[in-house]
Amino acid sequence: MSVGAKALAIACATALAIVLVAIYIVDFLAATPSTVKAASAPGGARLTLQTVASYGHSPHPDWVSYLVQDGGGKWHHTTVFKVPAHSLVRVTIYQYDTATGLRNPFWSQVRGTVGNSMTVDGKTMNALDPDLASHTFAIPDMGITVPLKGVADDAKNQCSVAPCPLSMAHTTITFTFRTGKPGKYRWQCFVPCAASFIFGNGGPMQSPGWMDGYLVVA
């Protein structure tokens, strides 16, 4: 093989490698979950979420997940929520999963919400029995932690395919928090709720779009 041919082969191989790396990067960036804007409400916004024991669709039908409802009432499978800065955000979470229990009971207390409290099926509470927690909605950099009570293990009419309708077994958790300056704040679940993963912390716990994501305050 001549020197020119060798140089051409090296140049082609290098170009191919660059293209493959670029495709990988673009694919990675494009895989970021979409952003859903919270519905407007007097004095701020209204954020409506649901947690399901199993998403029920590809690519991971058996993964636990959060979903968010847009202002038009349509459910979206994403965990990036946009809310206004310096305003009140009223959150409603329909919780369809059974309890797993907190590994660290520290997260069983409600923190960072207005009044450091939540309502569970209409009852005001400032903490939950750690063994009854199915998930948490926590934004560590904003000091917000809300434990979510699971439905009973023997509850009838349990939901296994998202989005779940209100006719299926669920608990309703509401709370309000005040946003501060604009920024991108990560949120996560502190219950090791990823079934079949080691210590319950793999899969959906490690994947934005499922049990963690961002609160975009703008």
Contact residue for other proteins among 56, 71, 101, 183 (CB under 8 A): 101
CA-to-CA distance for 200 and 172, rounded, in angstroms?
Answer: 24
| Residue 21 C-beta: closest distance to other proteins, Å | 22
Contact residue for other proteins among 83, 200, 215, 216 (CB under 8 A): 200
- Indicate the DSSP class of residue 53: S
CA-to-CA distance for 153 and 164, rounded, in angstroms?
Answer: 17
CA-to-CA distance for 132 and 200, rounded, in angstroms?
Answer: 16
Binding segment (CB under 8 A) for other proteins, from list 17-25, 70-78, 162-170, 196-204: 196-204
Position 192 contacts other proteins (CB under 8 A): yes
Site string for other proteins, 125-144 (x = CB under 8 A): -xx-xx---------xx-x-
| Residue 50 C-beta: closest distance to other proteins, Å | 18
Looking at the Cβ atoms of 40 and 104, the one nearer to other proteins is 104
Binding segment (CB under 8 A) for other proteins, from list 80-88, 94-102, 160-168, 172-180: 94-102
Where are the strands (E) in 4-87, listed by range?
Answer: 35-37, 39-41, 44-52, 65-69, 75-76, 80-83
Alpha helix segments (H runs only) across 96-187: none
Contacts of 81 (CB under 8 A, 6+ apart): 35, 36, 37, 38, 47, 68, 213, 214, 215, 216
Position 186 contacts other proteins (CB under 8 A): yes
Chain residues in the site for other proteins (CB under 8 A): 64, 100-109, 111, 126-127, 129-130, 140-141, 143, 186, 188, 190-197, 199-201, 205-208, 212
